[in-house]
A = this chain, B = another copy of it.
Amino acid sequence: MMGTYNNILLAVDLHPSYDEYTIKKAVDFAKERNAKLTLLHCIEGIHAYGAVQGYQLIMEVEQQIEQEAKKALADLGKTYGIAPENQMLVQGPPQKVVIEKAKAMKADLIIVGGHGRHGISLLFGSTADGIMHHAQCDVLAIRAKS
């Protein structure tokens, strides 16, 4: 079925308390309509201006974060049947990265989710607002089950 949304970008959080409800719902939504679903996770660099002495250590921490994110993303992909070529791990500010990647892949929908356990989420705060206002396509915000 060629429906309203066929090429979906799901921005995931990979937070330790990440609520799988959100990704499961996004995957169900994509499957229902036979849409292509791409997983995107952003890693923000560590901001440590002037930390000359700690530079080596910060590099190591960043590499470790990236390794762990890569593994978490691959695990998610495996669990939900999303092929590795449809998984993206990008370093940069989430709002900018999500909007740019959506544009580059000609996504017709961006899905952002939030883990509701603590009522806070990177992707349900100002980042979600920014995505909603600046994206060139539609945006679906999935609220985590509370």
Contacts and interface: CB of A to CB of B under 8 A. Distances in A.
Contact of A28 (B4, B135, B136): B4
A1 interface: yes
Interface residues of A, number: 23
A21 to B, nearest CB: 11
A135 B142 CA distance: 10
Interface string A107-146: 0000000000000000010001100110111111111000
A46 B143 CA distance: 33
A128 B138 contact: no
16 contacts: A1-B32, A3-B28, A3-B29, A3-B32, A4-B28, A4-B32, A25-B138, A32-B33, A124-B133, A129-B129, A135-B143, A138-B141, A138-B142, A138-B143, A139-B143, A140-B140
A-B CB proximity, top 7 nearest? A140-B140, A4-B29, A139-B141, A3-B32, A138-B142, A132-B141, A129-B129
